[in-house]
A and B are shown apart, each in its own frame.
Chain A
Amino acid sequence: MVATLERPVQHAQSEPRIAMTPVIEPAAVVEHVSKVFVQRPLFWRGQTKTVQAVADVSFTVGRNEIFGILGANGSGKSTLIRMLSTLLIPDSGRVEVFGYDVRRDEAQVKRLINRVSVEASFFKKLSPGENLAYALRLYGRSGSAVRDETYAVLDRLGIARDKVGEPLEQLSRGMQQKVAIARALLTSPVLLLLDEPTTGLDPRSKLDVQRFVRELREGHDATILLCTHDMAEAEALCDRVAIVEKGKLAALDTVDGLKRTFAPTIGHPEPSLEDIFIHLTGRSLEDDEEASDE
C-alpha cells in the first residue's frame, strides 16, 4: 500500500484550493503535467498558435474512488483523460495508472483502463452484439459464456434482446451510450475513465448510467474518473471533485469540503457546487455551453 498526500490547502485568493487528503492506494497519479497544442498556419503564412491545454496539474485518485473533474469547454479536462488513456503524450510531468507510467508502460496501462466518452464510438452499421463481440475480442474475451454475459449486462441496462441485433445507428443516443457503458463493464477495467458520459441523455437515461457507475464501483472494485459538465451529477456521484479552469487546477476537495472552504468568500452558508464553479471561473457552465454553441 502506498500512501500519498495531496498538496495542502492554499489560502491565497489566486492560488488553487487543494485539500490535503491521504490517498492510501493511488489508482492514478497526475504530477506536474502540462500539454501544449501547436497549430501551424496554412502554407506556413501567419503566426503559429499555441494553446496551453493543461498547465502543471497534479492530483492523485485513490483506488475505488469516484473522482470528478469539473470544467468548462476547453478547460483541459478531456486532455487529462486522453493522457490517462495513453491517447495523448504529455509534454512534461508524470502520469501513472496503478504505478505504471502511461508512456513507458503503455501496454500494461491499456490492460487496466477503459473509457466511455461523450461520443459512443461504435461502428454504427453494426449491431450492439457485433460491436461488443469485436470490442471484447480486442480485450481477449470471446466464446458463448461471454455472449451470455453480454446479454445479461444489456438486459440489466434495459436493452431488449430484439435490439441487440439491430444496427446501432437505429438506436437512440441514450441506448448507444448504455451499450458503451456495457462495453466498458464487460472488459472489467480497474480504472474507468468517463468523459461526459451522460451529456445529451434524457433524465431517465442519465439516472440509469449513474446507477450503473455506482454498481461498477461497488461490484467490480473499479476506480472511476468522471469528467462532467453536470454539477448535480458530480455532487451525486463523486467522492472528490477537481475544478479545472484554463488548463489549471483551481480547486480540489470533497463536495462538502469545497462548500465549507468557499462559503465565507461566496457569502452563503451553504453554496452550491455551481456557485463555487462560478466563483472560481467567473462564469457558469450554461454560459460556456451557449458560447460554444455560438
Chain B
Amino acid sequence: MNQSLGPAQRTLPGAGIWWETRASLAFVERNLYLVKRYWHLELAFLIFNVASAMSVLYIGEAQMQREAGAADARLDLVLYLGIGTVVWAYLRAVFSNVGEMVAWERWEGTIEYTMMAPISRLAHMLGVSLFSIVYGLARSALLLGVLALFFSVDLSNANLGGAAVILLVGSVSFLGFGIMAAVLPLLFPERGEEMTFVISSILLLVSGVYYPISVLPDWMEPLATVSPATYVLEGMRAALLEGAPTAALGPSLVPTVILGALTLPIGIAIFGWGERYAKRTGRLKRSG
C-alpha cells in the first residue's frame, strides 16, 4: 500500500521508544532460532561450563582438605598448581592441534583439497601430530619459563628426564583423543569444532589437573582411571616435586603406555569411519 505513496507520505519505521523496544526483540528471536539450530553446540558449551565451574570448586575443596591436614597437605600448592597448569597447557595444545585437523581446513575451505591429495590419512595425522608435539613442547616450555620468573620454583631435586619421558609417552594417548575429537567437525560441519570442548573439559575435570582426584565424588573417580592425563600428571608430579627416579615412575608409565596403545588405533579407526561416512553423505562439502 505504501508503495503507491510518495516518500514524504510513507509511514517511516523507527519512531518512538516503544517501537525501538519491540524491534529489539528481533535479536532475541534471532538468537533463539540460532540456539535451536545449534543445539548440539549449546549442549557442548553447557558441559564445558559445568566442567570448568566444577574444576574451580574442586580446587577450593582440595585447599580445604589441605588446611584440615588431610591428604596431600605436604605438597606445595603453588608447585602443584603450576605443574598442573603447564602439563595441561601441553596436553591441551597437542589435543587441540590434532582436534582442529579438520575444523581449521573447513574454516579455510581447503578440506576437500587436502582430502583429495594423494597422501594416506595416517601420514596426514603423523604430520599434524609431529607439529602438535613440537608446538606443545615449545609453548609449555615458554609458559614454564614465565611462571618461573614470577614464582620462585625450586626444581633442584626434580627428575627432569623422567618428567620428559612421561610427558612424551602421554602425548600418544592425547593424540588418540585428539584424532577422535577431529571426527566431530567432519560429522558436524557447523560448529563441530566447539563440540571437541566436551572431550577436553571432561578430561580436565576428572584428571586431577588442579586438585588430587581424591576430592572427586566416588562415582567420578573411575573416570579418572581411563584418562591418560591422570597418569601423566601423577608421574610429572612425582618426578618434579618428589624427584622420583624414572624407574619408580612405572605405576604412571605403564597405564599411560596401555592407554596410548589403545586410544591411538581406536582414534584412527573412528576417524576412518567418520571420513567414509562424510564421503557417503556429502558432509565434506559444507563449510559451515
Measured between beta carbons, the chain B residues less than 8 angstroms from A38 are 281
**Interface of chain B residues 174 through 220 with chain A (CB within 8 A):** none
B36-A88 in contact (CB<8A) = no
Q: What string of 1s and 0s marks CB contacts (under 8 Å) between B89-133 and chain A?
A: 000000000000000000011101111111110000000000000
Q: Does A87 contact B (CB under 8 A)?
A: yes
Contacts of A119 in B (CB 8 A): 109
Contacts of B115 in A (CB 8 A): 86-87
Chain B residues with Cβ under 8 A from A88's Cβ? Answer: 279-280, 282, 284-285
Known: A110-B117, A138-B119. A82 touches B276 (CB 8 A): no
CB of B10 within 8 A of chain A? Answer: no
A157, CB-defined interface residue at 8 Å: no
List residues of chain B with CB within 8 A of the CB of A138.
114, 117-119
Q: A87-B112, A107-B120 are in contact. Are A42 and B285 (CB under 8 A)?
A: no
Give the total of B residues in contact with A, Cβ under 8 Å: 22
Are A85 and B116 touching (Cβ within 8 A)?
yes
Name the CB-closest residue of B to A110. B118
Contact of B110 among A114, A115, A122 (CB under 8 A): A122
Contacting residues, chain B, for A113 (C-beta < 8 A): 116
Contacting pair A86 B116 (CB below 8 A): yes
Chain B: which residue is nearest A123 at the CB level?
Answer: B108
CB distance from A109 to the nearest CB of B (A): 9
A124 to B108, CA, bound (A): 7
Q: Which of A82-125 contact B (CB under 8 A)?
A: 82, 85-89, 107, 110-111, 113-115, 117, 119, 121-124
**How far does the alpha carbon of A87 sit from the alpha carbon of B116 in the complex, in Å?**
7
Question: How many A-B Cβ pairs are below 8 Å?
Answer: 64
- With A87-B112, A121-B112 as contacts: A139 and B118 at CB distance below 8 Å: yes
Residue of A nearest to B117 (CB): A138
Q: Which of B37, B39, B279 has the largest count of A CB atoms less than 10 A from its CB?
A: B279
Chain B residues near A115 (CB, 8 Å)?
Answer: 112-113, 116
- C-alpha gap A45/B5 in the complex (Å): 45
- Residue with the highest number of chain B CB atoms closer than 10 Å, among A42, A121, A139: A121
Distance in angstroms between the alpha carbons of A35 and B284 in the assembled complex: 15
The docked-state distance in angstroms from the alpha carbon of A42 to that of B40 is 11
The residues of B that contact A123 with a CB separation of less than 8 Å are: 108, 110
Which of B1-48 touch A at CB < 8 Å?
Answer: 36-37, 39
Q: A124-B108, A138-B114 are in contact. Are A82 and B285 (CB under 8 A)?
A: yes
Residues from chain B with a CB closer than 8 A to the CB of A87 are 112, 115-116, 279, 284-285
Task: Provide the bound-state CA to CA distance between A38 and B110, in Å.
Answer: 24
**Chain B residues with CB under 8 A of A140:** 118
Closest to A114 in B: B116
A111-B116 contact, Cβ under 8 Å, with A89-B279, A122-B110: no
A103 to chain B, nearest CB (A): 9
Please pick, from A43, A111, A124, the residue contacting B118 in the complex, using a CB distance under 8 A: A111
Known: A38-B281, A88-B279. A110 touches B108 (CB 8 A): no
Q: How far is A115 from B112 in the complex, measured between Cα atoms in Å?
A: 10
Complex Cα distance, B284 from A111, in Å, reads: 20
* Bound Cα distance A111, B116 (Å): 9
Tell me the smallest distance from the CB of B129 to a CB of chain A, in Å.
16
CB-CB under 8 A from B119, the residues of chain A are 138
Q: What are 27 A-B interface contacts by the 8 Å CB criterion?
A: A37-B281, A42-B37, A42-B39, A79-B282, A85-B112, A86-B115, A87-B116, A87-B284, A87-B285, A88-B279, A88-B282, A88-B285, A89-B276, A107-B118, A107-B120, A110-B116, A115-B112, A121-B110, A121-B112, A121-B113, A122-B108, A123-B108, A123-B110, A124-B108, A135-B117, A138-B117, A138-B119
List B residues at the A interface (Cβ < 8 Å): 36-37, 39, 108-110, 112-120, 276, 279-282, 284-285
6 further A-B contacts with Cβ under 8 Å, apart from A82-B112, A111-B118, are A87-B285, A88-B279, A115-B112, A121-B109, A121-B110, A123-B108
